Structure 1
Amino acid sequence: MPMLIYPTPRLLLIRVMACFGSCTPIKYSWTSKNMFKTIARSLLLIATFTLCQAALAHDTSKRPLFFFLLIHDDVKETSDERLAEDYFVWLIKDLESFTGRRVHLQFVRNVPDVTDFQYKRENTDQNYAAWSSEINQYLIDQNLPQNGTSKYLLLTQNKLNASTLGFATPNGHTGIASLETFTAPAHELGHMLGGTHELAEVIYKGGWWCETNLVATRQAVRANCYFYSDKNKQKIAANLSEFP
């Protein structure tokens, strides 16, 4: 299965590499969190930060999405609520709007051999293999599900190496994303849900161009849309239809 690699920032740019046998560097823009503060404060984060928006017209009979967010021991932010506000509230709003499913977040900290995983490695293939081994053993030990609606993402403070911000496999159940950019977790989760670079778009919105979450080639002059393209939404929804 091909692994999608998410590269590192260079000043106001982040380089991304999509690896299918070989890697070609592409650009990815820096992001800002400020625009989400108003939205974040208006939503309720309860218990394990399950976001329940009763006003949304969802078919609640559908199986929810469960994102287990494994916080690496080196992450400086100690508040799970602030992590949710900065990186996930806007993502959940988008996902719930087109999947018709609730999205539940569970933050996990202080798990030996998991949240202290040595993620800084030059060889990304070896890194992914090592991480998969650790997380899969953890899932077995904890009797946690491996299915199309449960995803396990390690969130790290730093990049994985000089050129990589994260990785995941298409439709896979796990990946790693650096917190150095605010869209990296959405990017990797998007791949795990079946989204692709090819279906991403650049959109003219609000008087300026913005790029959807899975755009492979990003430019600093353009903003981030902080949502998936319509085509990726359709693909993700179709993929999830296998798990009613």
Structure 2
Amino acid sequence: MSSITQGMPKNAINVIAVVHDDVPGSARKTIYADHFHPLVSELKSFTGRQVHVVFAGGKPYSNFDYKGDEVLKTLQDWEPLGHRLLSEMKKEGLETNNLTKVILLTNDMLSDRAAGAALLWPPTGTGTVAISSLGSYLFVGHEIGHLLGARHEDYEVQYNGWWSETYMAPKRDLLRTIAYTFSPANRKNIMNYLADKD
């Protein structure tokens, strides 16, 4: 890294959160506090980057038909809408960069087995869009984690008076609490993803 770029500020992580029409008003009031504040604090704590969450809505984004057993197809249908929203918000003056992600927040699960999903490009590429149910405080952080390079394989169950799961737990165990953190391995995965994004 040259001395010129060393002092430059790092790109912020930006999340455009689209609240689906099916999310009730009572849940909307606490979405940031319940689902984003712990995640934002965690990401800031080890990345050294600002993290911004901007809420958006309106048709055709907020009424997107996300339910169905073909989760990959649902994500592929959501992707062009997510990019369209990103483009529209950029024209309206939102500062975007290569770390801007778009997530659809839903009241219900996508299918009987999927509470959320992120569009990834194997073997190592991450995408820009995801969908997450608000059914657990773990889900939004989990899907944003995928978009930043975190992996299921590197999650942990931690003990701090009780067993708790880090964000990338592949399946939520209701007997455990939520750690609201990424495991050290997933922190490293995220830092590796961020390394060339400035």
TM-score range, shorter chain: 0.7 to 0.9
TM-score between both structures, scaled by the size of structure 2:
0.84
AA aligned opposite 2:134: L
Gaps of 5+ in 1: 1-58
Out of 147, 150, 155, the position equivalent to 1:195 is: 150
Q: Could you tell me how far apart the structure 1 residues matched to 2:183 and 2:163 are?
A: 13
Q: Is the 8 A contact 1:197 1:215 kept in 2?
A: yes
Q: Is the 8 A contact 2:86 2:102 kept in 1?
A: no
> Partner of 2:76: helix, strand, or coil?
helix
Q: Could you tell me how far apart the structure 1 residues matched to 2:16 and 2:8 are?
A: 20
Q: Could you tell me how far apart the structure 2 residues matched to 1:169 and 1:120 are?
A: 16
**Cα distance change on mapping 1:202 and 1:83 into 2, 3 Å:** same
Out of 181, 185, 198, the position equivalent to 1:227 is: 181
Out of 32, 35, 55, the position equivalent to 1:87 is: 35
| C-alpha RMSD over aligned residues | 2.2
Determine which structure has greater relative contact order: mean sequence separation of CA pairs < 8 Å that are 6+ residues apart, divided by chain length: 1
> Partner of 2:25: helix, strand, or coil?
coil
Between Structure 1 and Structure 2, how many residues are aligned? 184
Give runs of aligned pairs for residues 125-204 of structure 1, distance below 5 A: 125-143=72-90, 148-170=98-120, 171-204=126-159
AA aligned opposite 2:167: N
1:7-66 per-residue CA deviation (whole Å, 9 max, x = no partner) reads: xxxxxxxxxxxxxxxxxxxxxxxxxxxxxxxxxxxxxxxxxxxxxxxxxxxx98111111
Q: Is the 8 A contact 2:11 2:97 kept in 1?
A: no
> Partner of 2:135: helix, strand, or coil?
coil
> Partner of 1:198: helix, strand, or coil?
helix
Give runs of aligned pairs for residues 1-244 of structure 1, distance below 5 A: 61-77=9-25, 82-110=30-58, 112-143=59-90, 148-170=98-120, 171-205=126-160, 207-244=161-198
Q: Could you tell me how far apart the structure 1 residues matched to 2:184 and 2:128 are?
A: 23
Q: Could you tell me how far apart the structure 2 residues matched to 1:89 and 1:142 are?
A: 22
> Partner of 1:173: helix, strand, or coil?
strand
1:145-165 per-residue CA deviation (whole Å, 9 max, x = no partner) reads: 875411100001111122221
Q: Could you tell me how far apart the structure 1 residues matched to 2:13 and 2:85 are?
A: 20
Q: Could you tell me how far apart the structure 2 residues matched to 1:61 and 1:142 are?
A: 23
Which residue number corresponds to residue 15 of structure 1? none
Q: Could you tell me how far apart the structure 1 residues matched to 2:40 and 2:8 are?
A: 15
Higher share in helix: 2
AA aligned opposite 1:154: L
